[in-house]
Amino acid sequence: QKEVEQNSGPLSVPEGAIASLNCTYSDRGSQSFFWYRQYSGKSPELIMFIYSNGDKEDGRFTAQLNKASQYVSLLIRDSQPSDSATYLCAVIYTGGFKTIFGAGTRLFVKA
Protein backbone atom coordinates (compact mmCIF):
# COMPACT_ATOMS: atom_id res chain seq x y z
CA GLN A 1 0.00 0.00 0.00
CA LYS A 2 1.29 3.42 -0.93
CA GLU A 3 1.85 5.79 1.97
CA VAL A 4 -0.47 8.46 0.53
CA GLU A 5 -2.91 7.59 -2.24
CA GLN A 6 -4.93 9.83 -4.52
CA ASN A 7 -6.89 9.25 -7.69
CA SER A 8 -4.73 10.61 -10.48
CA GLY A 9 -7.71 11.84 -12.44
CA PRO A 10 -8.18 13.83 -14.45
CA LEU A 11 -11.27 15.08 -12.69
CA SER A 12 -13.38 17.30 -14.89
CA VAL A 13 -16.16 19.52 -13.50
CA PRO A 14 -18.18 22.36 -15.01
CA GLU A 15 -17.68 25.92 -13.81
CA GLY A 16 -19.71 26.61 -10.68
CA ALA A 17 -19.85 22.96 -9.59
CA ILE A 18 -18.33 21.36 -6.50
CA ALA A 19 -15.05 19.51 -7.04
CA SER A 20 -14.33 16.70 -4.58
CA LEU A 21 -10.77 15.42 -4.17
CA ASN A 22 -9.93 12.44 -2.01
CA CYS A 23 -6.87 11.04 -0.27
CA THR A 24 -6.10 8.05 1.94
CA TYR A 25 -3.00 7.45 4.04
CA SER A 26 -1.45 4.42 5.68
CA ASP A 27 0.09 5.81 8.91
CA ARG A 28 -2.65 5.56 11.54
CA GLY A 29 -0.68 7.80 13.91
CA SER A 30 -0.45 10.77 11.53
CA GLN A 31 -1.77 14.04 12.95
CA SER A 32 -1.03 16.69 10.30
CA PHE A 33 -2.59 16.87 6.84
CA PHE A 34 -2.20 19.35 4.02
CA TRP A 35 -3.54 20.17 0.57
CA TYR A 36 -1.32 21.86 -1.98
CA ARG A 37 -2.18 23.20 -5.42
CA GLN A 38 0.36 23.05 -8.22
CA TYR A 39 -0.01 24.85 -11.52
CA SER A 40 1.95 23.55 -14.48
CA GLY A 41 5.56 24.68 -14.29
CA LYS A 42 5.18 26.08 -10.78
CA SER A 43 5.98 24.86 -7.28
CA PRO A 44 3.31 23.47 -4.94
CA GLU A 45 1.52 26.10 -2.86
CA LEU A 46 -0.33 25.43 0.38
CA ILE A 47 -4.09 25.95 0.26
CA MET A 48 -5.37 24.12 3.36
CA PHE A 49 -4.15 22.30 6.44
CA ILE A 50 -6.13 20.30 8.99
CA TYR A 51 -5.16 18.60 12.23
CA SER A 52 -8.49 17.61 13.84
CA ASN A 53 -11.31 15.32 12.75
CA GLY A 54 -14.16 17.08 11.02
CA ASP A 55 -14.43 19.92 8.57
CA LYS A 56 -12.36 23.07 8.16
CA GLU A 57 -13.55 25.80 5.83
CA ASP A 58 -11.58 28.61 4.20
CA GLY A 59 -13.44 30.57 1.56
CA ARG A 60 -14.46 28.21 -1.23
CA PHE A 61 -12.31 25.41 0.17
CA THR A 62 -13.31 22.82 2.78
CA ALA A 63 -10.95 20.16 4.09
CA GLN A 64 -12.47 17.09 5.74
CA LEU A 65 -10.57 14.66 7.96
CA ASN A 66 -11.59 11.25 9.26
CA LYS A 67 -8.70 9.71 11.18
CA ALA A 68 -10.59 6.48 11.92
CA SER A 69 -10.95 5.84 8.20
CA GLN A 70 -7.52 7.39 7.41
CA TYR A 71 -9.18 9.62 4.88
CA VAL A 72 -8.84 13.30 4.04
CA SER A 73 -10.69 15.20 1.34
CA LEU A 74 -10.84 18.64 -0.23
CA LEU A 75 -14.02 20.23 -1.54
CA ILE A 76 -13.89 23.22 -3.86
CA ARG A 77 -17.21 25.05 -4.12
CA ASP A 78 -18.17 27.25 -7.07
CA SER A 79 -15.26 25.87 -9.09
CA GLN A 80 -13.57 28.34 -11.42
CA PRO A 81 -11.41 27.72 -14.50
CA SER A 82 -8.51 29.19 -12.48
CA ASP A 83 -8.85 26.22 -10.10
CA SER A 84 -7.62 23.94 -12.89
CA ALA A 85 -4.39 22.50 -11.48
CA THR A 86 -2.95 19.42 -9.82
CA TYR A 87 -3.93 19.01 -6.16
CA LEU A 88 -1.48 17.24 -3.87
CA CYS A 89 -2.38 15.65 -0.56
CA ALA A 90 0.43 15.59 2.03
CA VAL A 91 0.78 13.88 5.40
CA ILE A 92 3.38 14.17 8.13
CA TYR A 93 4.30 10.64 9.16
CA THR A 94 4.97 9.80 12.78
CA GLY A 95 8.16 7.90 12.01
CA GLY A 96 10.69 10.70 11.65
CA PHE A 97 8.10 13.36 10.86
CA LYS A 98 8.77 13.35 7.14
CA THR A 99 6.18 14.85 4.81
CA ILE A 100 4.91 12.42 2.22
CA PHE A 101 2.95 13.54 -0.82
CA GLY A 102 0.40 11.72 -2.90
CA ALA A 103 0.80 11.55 -6.67
CA GLY A 104 -1.76 14.34 -7.11
CA THR A 105 -5.14 14.66 -8.80
CA ARG A 106 -5.44 16.75 -11.95
CA LEU A 107 -8.53 18.93 -11.91
CA PHE A 108 -10.04 20.57 -14.98
CA VAL A 109 -12.79 23.14 -14.57
CA LYS A 110 -14.64 23.72 -17.84
CA ALA A 111 -15.96 27.19 -18.56
Partner 1 sequence: DAGVIQSPRHEVTEMGQEVTLRCKPISGHDYLFWYRQTMMRGLELLIYFNNNVPIDDSGMPEDRFSAKMPNASFSTLKIQPSEPRDSAVYFCASRRGDQPQHFGDGTRLSIL
The least distance separating partner 1 from the CB of residue 105, rounded to whole angstroms, comes to 11
Exactly one of 23, 85, 88, 107 binds partner 1 (CB under 8 A); that residue is: 88
> Of the ranges 14-22, 45-53, 57-65, 69-77, which one interacts with partner 1 (CB under 8 A)?
45-53
Pick 33 or 83: Cβ nearer partner 1 = 33
What DSSP assignment string belongs to 42-110?
A: S--EEEEEE-SSEEEEETTEEEEEETTTTEEEEEESS--GGG-EEEEEEEE-TTTT-EEE---EEEEEE
Pick 41 or 111: Cβ nearer partner 1 = 41
